[in-house]
Amino acid sequence: MEDILELTIAQIRELLQKRKISSVELTNYFLERIKRFDGDISSYIKVTEEYALKMAGDADKKIADGENGQLLGIPLGIKDIYCTKGIETTCASRILKGFIPPYDATIIRRLKDEGYVHLGRLNMDEFAMGSSTETSYFGITRNPWDLERIPGGSSGGSAAAVAADECIASIGSDTGGSIRQPAALCGVVGMKPTYGRVSRFGLIAFASSLDQIGPFTKDVEDCAIMMNAIAGYDPRESTSVPLNVPDYTEFISRGIGGWKVGIPKEYFIEGIHPDIEKAMQRAITTVEGLGATCVEISLPHTEYCLAVYYIIAPAEASSNLARYDGVKYGFRPQGSIDLLDMYKKTRSAGFGAEVKRRIMIGTYALSSGYYDAYYKKASQVRALIKRDFTEAFTLCDAILTPTSPTPAFKIGEKMDDPLQMYLSDIFTISTNLAGIPGISVPCGFTKDGLPIGAQFLAGHFEEGKLIQIASAFEKYANIEKRRPAL
The 3-state secondary structure of 15-27, one letter per residue: HHHCCCCCHHHHH
Q: Give the count of domains, the chain.
A: 1
**Over 80: is that where the pLDDT of 232 sits?**
yes
Give the DSSP H or E segment for 224. Answer: helix 220-230
Quick one: which of 255, 211, 111 has its CA closest to 431?
Answer: 211
Q: What pairs with residue 192 in β-bridges?
A: 438
CA dist list (Å): 382 to 279, 316, 378: 30, 14, 6
Phi/psi class of residue 461: alpha, beta or left (left: φ > 0; alpha: ψ in -120 to 50)?
left
Neighbours of 85 (CB within 10 A): 15
Give the phi and the psi of residue 348 in degrees, each rounded to 5.
-70, -45
Exactly one of 22, 79, 240, 424 is catalytic; name it. Answer: 79
pLDDT tops 60 at residue 2: no
pLDDT tens, 282-295?
999 999 999 999 99
Structural domain for 164, as ranges: 2-245
Percent of the chain clearing pLDDT 70 (strictly above): 100
CATH number at residue 82: 3.90.1300.10
Residue 478 belongs to a domain = no
Res 268 pLDDT > 90: no
Residue among 22, 154, 158, 170 flagged as catalytic: 154
Average pLDDT over residues 210-234: 98
Closest CA to 176 of 408, 405, 435: 435
- Residues 308-343 as b/e (b if ≥16 CB within 10 A, e otherwise) read bbbbbbbbbbbbbbeebbbeeebbbeeeeeeeeebe
For residue 123, pLDDT over 90 is answered with yes
Establish if 78 belongs to a structural domain: yes
- For residue 212, the 8-state DSSP code is E
Q: What residues pair up with 46 in beta bridges, in sequence order?
A: 121
pLDDT of residue 10 exceeding 80: yes
Q: What is the pLDDT of residues 174-218, one digit of tens each?
A: 999 999 999 999 999 999 999 999 999 999 999 999 999 999 999
Query: Does any domain span residue 170?
Result: yes
pLDDT band at 269 (very low <50, low <70, confident <90, very high): confident
Report d(CA 38, CA 313) in Å as an integer: 32
In contact, 21 and 140? CB cutoff 8 Å = no
Q: How confident is the model at residue 248 (pLDDT cuts 50, 70, 90)?
A: very high
Summarised one tens digit per residue, pLDDT across range 466-480 is 999 999 999 999 898
Name which of 263, 257, 216 is nearest 122 in CA terms: 216
pLDDT digits (tens, 9 = 90+) for 70-108: 999 999 999 999 999 999 999 999 999 999 999 999 999
pTM, to two decimals: 0.97
- Contact between residue 106 and residue 234 where contact means Cβ atoms under 8 Å apart: yes
CA pair distance 124, 174, nearest whole angstrom: 11
pLDDT in tens, 382-398: 999 999 999 999 999 99
Q: Is residue 181 part of a domain?
A: yes
Q: CA-to-CA distance for 362 and 348, rounded, in angstroms? A: 17
> Residue 414 above 60 pLDDT?
yes
pLDDT in tens, 46-70: 999 999 999 999 999 999 999 999 9
Question: Distance between CA 361 and CA 169 in Å, rounded?
Answer: 35
Does some domain include residue 231?
Answer: yes
Examine residue 326 and state whether it is found in any structural domain, yes or no. Answer: no
Lowest mean pLDDT among 275-279, 318-322, 329-333, 438-442: 329-333
Cα separation, 455 vs 427, whole angstroms? 9
pLDDT at 254 over 60: yes
Q: What's the pLDDT score for residue 423?
A: 85
Nearest-CA neighbor of 203 among 67, 86, 84, 297?
Answer: 84
Q: Would 358 be classed as within a structural domain?
A: no
- pLDDT at residue 321 above 60? yes
Query: Is 154 labeled as catalytic in the residue annotation?
Result: yes
Q: Any residues with CB less than 8 A from the CB of 383 and at least 6 apart, and which?
A: none
The per-residue pLDDT for 481 is 87
Catalytic residue among 178, 318, 430, 471: 178
Predicted confidence at residue 1, as pLDDT, reads 58
User: Looking at per-residue confidence, does 334 or 315 come out higher?
Assistant: 315
Residue 400 maps to a domain: no
pLDDT at 419: 82
Confidence at 267, pLDDT banded by 50, 70, 90: very high
DSSP string, 325-365: SSSSSS---S--SSHHHHHHHHHHHHS-HHHHHHHHHHHHH
Mean pLDDT of the chain: 96
